[in-house]
Chains A and B, each alone.
Chain A
């Protein structure tokens, strides 16, 4: 029986694009800024395995604008519960830039999906990941300037994708996949860090 807390597990990719407003914005790059305080969530990442059957099956990383990072580990993990660490300003800038500069904010699942399906039909050798994890990455920006567009206040993007790393290996030229996969690897490093402080 599956009790998947993330209801988007059904689709291999679901994108939500929401807008909200932030204050105290500081530009980190020309294309974006984010609220630099530890009340504002800038990036949230979760990883939900397909085969794991548990009420609490997702590892969740929440990155705040002030650099605070809170990681939730599933109940029965080798490491379980909530832990805390931090990123420096440059590390956080790099993380957000990895996502934004690779056009993750413009990520269009239908375009990638169609291109994937088209390519697959021309190839005899296929790839498949059974029990693939569903990775979800949310980005919350105070200001964002889309390519060729006007700067806007408050932009949020949520991307859910199954088998992200293996998909990126198949589509290495896709900038958004590269951004998502690279950012995920950075976040996974945090998950595996041995310099975490448990939260009560």
Chain B
């Protein structure tokens, strides 16, 4: 029988590796090292160690498909801890939304206008968290050796002449597409066909088919442009700049990602093959655990004047992933801020009062009659597979909860919702997933109460209500806070549906037959990236994925 431990075992393993690494005195290059780019790690400690193609991944990515969760934590006891809670939660939401915005520079939002002589903590911390997730500067920045405005040139490595070259070209704008950079080697991924890092790219696939670091630039372009605000303005995107452009002035709010920031996060999410829609892709969810020293913290934020005079992110990382030297992965990350030399402004709200849509994709549905709800209302009948969107948008910051109101008639199919709940964070929600399949001998038992428990049967799907108590063993705490005594073999899906483990086989054992999807929510996650497990057989690879994808430990 499986036992599910509280802490993600992947995380445990990583933390052990870190401890061993530190004890072993593993050294970073520093003294004359310039290390950054569109991804941290693209520039090595010497020109021979530069890697133009390098992509850094956030903590937890191991080279195979996964739902990656990165937790932000405010170090308990740090100065300004309470004031950091809202900004850090906003940052988590922005990073999770991965929604680039044109016009992301302002003086604040609503009543949260940044005083001219103060620095907006949320904006600066958003930049540092970007680093802590693996993003490098889009511009040459201080580490380049350039000074003044020359630091706005696009991030590049030295060429054969061993120096970075500077030339703003005929438009005289530093960092633009006509820059004259001699033999410099760009490490900035640019959008193919446009070389415009500022404009909304629209609905595209973010991977190496749309972004390139070494491909041909559009005709007439001399170098990759970066999303510096002057460049963006010249390209028609006013008040726009990548959050990963180095340099935070006072009196400015930059609390939303630029399109280039979104593209780099999503490019990394295409995995080591740099191709979306393949087995090594990952989704990225950034959570705020608030003021916490939990072992699940991945990025720790604190004020520490000994570490910085303003703001830094310090990381440790591996330079390869599954032997692929073009893909590194962060192991630990800490962001530090100075309290004495800086006047900080802490905003107290999300600032965005827009409304956003909630929707996603339905797959597997072969019949009609499915009805979805959002927050127990806004009924939406679904009769075919494809993209759906609820009619009523919700105000930013609102919570949403997508559930199945009505299953297809006669339980000819059972539909299960994934990614169904969360908080709107400055962007439409498009990743709700509804998966439908044919259950074996399925039936729905509604209205179960404490006084009328049900006896389970093989292959049934139970829809339970508050107070439901089954007959046997294993206690499970639902996301809603309900406590249910579970019959062995039952597992929880979406907090309201209990799917019977009807397959007669354990997730921890190989089987010559495929694993029915309804056996466990983990099967759904596995089969999303490895359909073989649900269509052919549940082989050793599938058993391994119980750990690598679901983070569950077999005992």
Q: List residues of A whose CB falls within 8 A of some B CB.
A: 1-4, 7, 9-13, 47-54, 57-59, 73-79, 109-110, 112-113, 116-117, 119-121, 123-134, 161-163, 165-167, 170-172, 185, 188, 191-192
Contacts and interface: CB of A to CB of B under 8 A. Distances in A.
Given A51-B310, A76-B118, A129-B313, A10 B148 contact: no
A128 B142 CA distance: 14
A10 to B, nearest CB: 3
Contact of A119 (B27, B49, B144, B312): B27
Interface string B298-318: 000000011111111111111
Given A10-B145, A53-B248, A76-B118, A126 B342 contact: no
A120 B342 contact: no
6 smallest CB-CB distances across A and B, nearest first, come from A127-B28, A10-B145, A49-B310, A113-B31, A130-B131, A53-B247
B250 A54 contact: yes
Contacts of A113: 31-33
Contacts of A78: 339-344
B312 A76 contact: no
A131 B320 contact: no
Interface in B23-70: 25-36, 40-41, 45-46, 49
Contacts of A162: 30, 142-143
A116 B31 contact: yes
A111 B239 CA distance: 45
Nearest to A4: B147
Given A49-B308, A76-B343, A134-B142, A1 B28 contact: no
Contacts of B117: 75-76
Given A2-B142, A76-B119, A79-B340, A133 B152 contact: no
A165 B309 contact: no
Contact of A166 (B26, B28, B250, B305): B28
Instruction: Summarize B's interface: helix, strand, loop or mixed.
Output: loop
Nearest to B249: A53
B418 interface: no
Interface band, chain B: 35 or more
B247 A51 contact: yes
Contact of B306 (A53, A131, A188): A188
Contacts of B249: 53-54
Interface in B116-137: 117-119, 124, 127-128, 131, 136-137
Nearest to B343: A78
B345 to A, nearest CB: 11
A13 B45 CA distance: 13
B128 A4 contact: no
A74 B338 CA distance: 12
B312 A129 contact: yes
A199 B334 CA distance: 36
Contacts of A7: 147
Interface in B448-506: none
B32 A12 contact: yes
B21 A59 contact: no
20 contacts: A2-B148, A2-B247, A4-B142, A10-B142, A49-B309, A50-B143, A52-B309, A74-B341, A76-B342, A117-B29, A120-B45, A125-B317, A127-B314, A127-B316, A131-B142, A132-B143, A163-B30, A166-B28, A166-B307, A170-B26
Nearest to A80: B343
A132 B310 CA distance: 9
Nearest to B304: A165
Contact of A77 (B33, B146, B307, B343): B343
A167 B128 contact: no
B74 interface: no
A171 B29 CA distance: 10
Contacts of B339: 78
A128 B310 CA distance: 17
Given A51-B310, A188-B305, A130 B28 contact: no
Contacts of B49: 121
A134 B142 CA distance: 9
A136 to B, nearest CB: 12
Given A76-B119, A128-B40, A11 B250 contact: no
A134 B137 CA distance: 17
B331 interface: yes
